[in-house]
Amino acid sequence: MIELISKVARFAADANKHPFFIKDEQNFINIISVQQVNTLDNLSMLDIFLGKDSIIEPHYHPNGSELTYCVSGSATISMMNLDTKKFQHYKITPGQVVNIPQGWWHYQIAHTDDTHLQGIFNVGSPEVVLSSEVLTQTPADVFAYSYGLNEELWKAVTNDIPPSMLIGPPKE
């Protein structure tokens, strides 16, 4: 039996009414998860819209795998193979997919305006760890000590990185 978040079963939703992240009118992400459709069982979706040369910043999903489907436009999906520690790059166009295993570091770059991707997850609500959050939330002295860096220089370099940027590059 399906465990419901509320007493009323919801079988439908409008992704356009559930923003996950908005950068601007060309770059935004909507979400459908167990919060919107409480009858979903181990399934969720990010509806991703990107302008040319926009990037979904490097990140990983600790709780599920992602199947990225290209609806329109074109994009390169890049991911680090955790076994080889090497990046694999896949350019996709409408109708093509890339499977990103759980926990793999990855990013997406749009090659055309009006690129539309769908990230389909095997979990009811995907979790995400963003590179901007790792860089801005880890104390500067940790990176400086770990890699033999000048702490003040590291602070200066990372100072302008907005946390939870998600879609880049930043607006000028």
Query: How many angstroms separate the Cα of 75 from the Cα of each of 18, 70, 80, 167?
Result: 23, 8, 17, 14
Give yes or no for residue 4 having a pLDDT over 70.
no
Please tell me the pTM assigned to this model: 0.91
Token pair for residue 76? Answer: 């390169």
**CATH fold of 15-127:** Jelly Rolls (2.60.120)
CB atoms within 10 A of CB 107: 18
Tell me what pLDDT residue 79 has. Answer: 98
Give yes or no for residue 6 having a pLDDT over 90.
no
Give yes or no for residue 2 having a pLDDT over 90.
no
Give yes or no for residue 120 having a pLDDT over 90.
yes
- Averaged over 137-161, what is the pLDDT? 93
pLDDT band for position 164 (50/70/90)?
confident
Backbone angles phi, psi at 70, to 5 degrees: -90, 115
Domains of the chain: which residue ranges? 15-127
Give yes or no for residue 135 having a pLDDT over 80.
yes
Query: How many angstroms separate the Cα of 21 from the Cα of each of 50, 80, 146?
Result: 12, 24, 32
Percent of the chain whose pLDDT exceeds 90? 88
pLDDT band for position 1 (50/70/90)?
very low
**pLDDT tens per residue across span 66-115:** 999 999 999 999 999 999 999 999 999 999 999 999 999 999 999 999 99
